[in-house]
Structure 1
Amino acid sequence: MLRVQITNRAPRLEVDFTVPPGVTALFGPSGAGKTSVLMAVAGLLRADHAVITLDGAPLARAPHRRRVAVVFQEARLFPHLSLRQNLTYGQRWAQPGGPDPGQVIDLLGLDRVLERPIGALSGGEAQRVAIGRALLSNPAVLLMDEPLSALDAPRKAEILPWLETLAETTRLPVLYVSHAMPEIARLARRMVVIDQGAQRAEGTLEDLLSDPALAPLIGLSEAGSVISAVAGPRAADGLTEVRTQGGPLYLPLTVPEGARLRLRLPAQDIILSRARPLGLSALNILQARIVQVAEAEGQALVQLAMAEDRFLARLTLRSVRALDLAPGQQIYAILKTVALSKAS
């Protein structure tokens, strides 16, 4: 468990959070101070006051003794070294007992590109090498500073599955900086939200993304919740039944029956109805209860509950008035199949 307490005047930082094993996202708008927090954890920014501990023990003062590995936006590989030499570069300073290079090569799917020169790698391949280099330094903590922001959409799609595998297989505390909510929803289990250097919230992704008060800070266009689900059978037409606490959903997924899933529901793609709708092409209709209705930037955010799960719908204020929506009411949420995505 990584504990981070930082107070600094310039740049302004006021944070106090924990990072358990697995991926914790550090989220905020551009200029919020995300990278400054990472640099302070790595020892590359000397804060006015910082208490950074791992399992209760303070991290070493010198950056090179902290066992903290950083993956930056750009891969920053050494062009004069081979791919294998880039991977093993940090091992010369690593403490014994780290992962075997062969294991890391398999984990990141690099066996097919081992003989390529560095200049011939795609952006996604180069970033996977950078991640492998960080892992082979045998870190106790892994920091990732927007590792996908410099990649185009196809390269992001290429590397995301490898990051998912990394998140599922490593027991490292990983602090992952990003301002891309779909990316965070897919990789992280916890999130810390900061703005103008100050911490605004900390908690599970499910709790924070379903909180109407945080939606304006996250961005109304990005607002969208994460709910739990279990995969059911796959039909002949290619749709898989996914069981949620508000009813079944039918999605174009190929996953084993019984697999536990997390689904991202974009708030702007949810339509509400007081009565169960008939005669629609929409297959996905969930029954829920209204928890609260909040106004944000001239729009309405309706928080909905299905047993323990919470999610948001974004409507116009006129629609809220027309439907006379209020807490406690039973409601039907209509979801566009093409808008749903598997968070993990």
Structure 2
Amino acid sequence: MSIQVDVTLHRGAFTLQAAFAAGPGLTALFGRSGSGKTTLIDLIAGLARPDRGRIVADGTALVDTEAGLFLPSHRRRIGVVFQDARLFPHLSVRTNLGYGRVFARHRADPAQVDAVIAMLGIGHLLDRRPSGLSGGERQRVAIGRALLARPRLLLMDEPLAALDEARKAEILPYIERLRDEAGVPIVYVSHAVSEVARLATTVIVLEAGRVAAAGPAEAILRRADLAPIHDAEAGALLDMVVQAADPETGLTHLTGDAGRLLVPGLARRIGTRLRVRIPARDVLVATTRPQGLSARNILPGRICGIVPVGDEVAVEIACNGAHLVARVTRAAAADLGLANGQAVFAIVKSVAFDPAGIGLVRGSVAI
């Protein structure tokens, strides 16, 4: 399943001119407010018409201005989840879930209903009204309603923006399962780099109505030149495996191409594959192996890129095929004589890891 978008839309002084293609998984639209993310969602959903362009989802043309084709929103088979769940307050969760199916004119499939309820963990909520649910529970019900309409594509417009950190932590694992198990491509709008780093398969960076960059999440999010565009710091995404847990220190041991990492204790079974984000600000660079440091993570590597960013430089370090990024001052880079191809050590404090930036690798088993 895939989506292809190539559209132009003029709205007053603002022009959206965006083209990208994305495959299965979760495609994140990332950028500052006013960059065109929600406008793009409206075009895909059929809530707005482009002046020019073509949108294709799962092989079906939704818009083709040359051919005079504009499929109305109710015929597009697209599910939409907004910031607020928009559930019917007078209906139970069970009835809210069925509304999407009825609106899409599908017969009930008990097996599909049971599978969606189990995936989202909402079986115990079926007889409640929305007023008796937490924010995270309401969003899970909204996602279930969208899925039961059997969409060919799911659009999620900042679905966690209205939730506090505890509710975000509650719902993120369910969005991971949705990405991996539902079999429906997802286009996901967010301002939060931790969400994008944890969830995205593909990242589309928008700036002033244009696509500034597009590609795999791990390649896009470590690019320091894009940080000023999306107001978020560059950082590495590492594919790691839980190797061991140390109850005495409270640390979890992870292994991957980059080497071994010690992170604050994670409630994950041995062998679980995780995606770990390490922001550039949390990485130090040493030209010799340091001694007598409190930092537990010292990874040998070789510099493969140095990018000036204002008064600083972003130093990209290849560690056995994995890539980290460190942010250092120009003065520090000059004093150390940093250069491409140079052998160095990347140092990361264990306490620097943010649990919100650690999620399941796509296709891993949620444990």
Could you say which TM-score interval applies, normalised by the shorter chain? over 0.9
More divergent stretch after superposition (120-129 vs 66-75): 120-129
User: Which residue in the other structure is 1:151 paired with?
Assistant: 163
Per the alignment, residue 270 of structure 2 pairs with 257
Report whether the alignment pairs 1:299 with 2:299. no
TM-superposition CA deviations, 1:132-180 (whole Å, max 9, x none): 1111111010000000001111111111111111112111110000010
Give yes or no for contact 2:46–2:71 (8 Å, CA) kept in 1: yes
Q: Distance in 2 between matches of 1:115 and 1:96?
A: 21
8 Å CA contact 2:179, 2:185 repeated in 1: no
Task: Report the AA paired with residue 100 of structure 1.
Answer: Q
Percent identity of equivalent pairs: 44
Q: One-letter code of the match for 1:29?
A: R
| Alignment partner of 1:23 is 2:26 | yes
Alignment of 1:204-283 (within 5 A): 204-219=216-231, 222-237=233-248, 238-251=250-263, 252-283=265-296
- Look up the match of 1:32: 35
The answer for the alignment partner of 2:363 in structure 1 is none
Unpaired stretches in structure 2, ≥5 consecutive residues: 63-69, 361-367
CA contact (8 A) 2:223 2:234 kept: no
CA distance in 2, matches of 1:56, 1:110: 32
SS class of match (1:240): strand
Amino acid at match of 1:158: E
Report what 1:116 is aligned to: 128
Equivalent AA in structure 1 for residue 15 of structure 2: R
**Deviation, structure 1 residue 119:** 1.1
Query: Once the two structures are superposed, what CA deviation does each residue of 1:65-97 show, in whole Å capped at 9, x if it has no partner?
Result: 000111001111111212111111111133458
Q: Distance in 1 between matches of 2:321 and 2:345?
A: 17
- How far is the alpha carbon of 1:46 from its aligned partner? 0.7
Mapped to 2, the partners of 1:246 and 1:137 lie a distance apart of 42
Q: What is the TM-score when the length of structure 1 is the normalising length?
A: 0.95
Give CA-to-partner distance per residue, 1:189-216, whole Å, 9 cap, x none. Answer: 1111111110011100111112232232
1:218 to 1:312, Cα distance in 2 relative to 1, 3 A:
farther
Conserved? CA contact 1:287–1:332, under 8 Å: yes
Q: Distance in 2 between matches of 1:212 and 1:259?
A: 29
In structure 2, the residue matched to 1:343 is: 359
* Structure 2 counterpart of 1:286, from 299, 322, 335: 299
Q: Are the structure 2 counterparts of residues 323 and 97 from structure 1 closer, same or farther at C-alpha, using a change threshold of 3 Å? A: farther
Give the 3-state SS of the residue equivalent to 1:9 in structure 2: strand
Does structure 2 conserve the Cα–Cα contact (< 8 Å) formed by 1:97 and 1:138?
no
| Cα deviation, residue 23, structure 1 | 0.6
Deviates more, 1:198-207 or 1:332-341: 332-341
The counterpart of 1:12, out of the listed 12, 15, 22, is 15
In structure 2, how many angstroms separate the alpha carbons of the residues matched to 1:242 and 1:126?
34
**TM score, norm. by length of structure 2:** 0.89
Partner of 1:3: 4
Aligned residue type for 1:223 = A
> Within 1, Cα distance between the matches of 2:251 and 2:301?
23
Taking the aligned partners of 1:19 and 1:68, their CA distance within structure 2 comes to 16
Aligned to 2:347: 334
Instruction: State the partner residue of 2:364.
Output: none
Distance 1:311 1:97 in 2: 48
1:49 lines up with 2:52 in the alignment: yes
**Aligned partner letter, 1:235:** D
User: What RMSD in Å do the two structures reach over aligned CA positions?
Assistant: 1.7
Residues 244-275 of structure 1, C-alpha deviation per residue, up to 9 Å, x if partnerless?
22321112223333332221011111111111
Partner of 2:173: helix, strand, or coil?
Answer: helix
Q: Structure 1, unaligned stretches of length 5 or more?
A: none
1:175 is aligned to 2:183: no
Name which of 322, 336, 346 aligns with 1:309: 322
- Code of the residue aligned with 1:202 in structure 2: it is A
Over 3 Å counting, the alpha-carbon distance change for 1:72 and 1:291 in structure 2 is same
Q: Secondary structure at the match of 1:343?
A: strand
Decide whether aligned partners of structure 1 residues 96 and 191 sit closer, same or farther in structure 2, where only a CA change above 3 A counts: farther
1:337 is displaced (CA, Å) by 1.1
The alignment covers a number of residue pairs equal to 343
Contact 1:211 1:303 in 2 (8 A): no
- 2:258–2:323: 8 Å Cα contact kept in structure 1? no
Correspondence 1:140 to 2:152? yes
Cα separation, 1, equivalents of 2:222 and 2:343 = 18
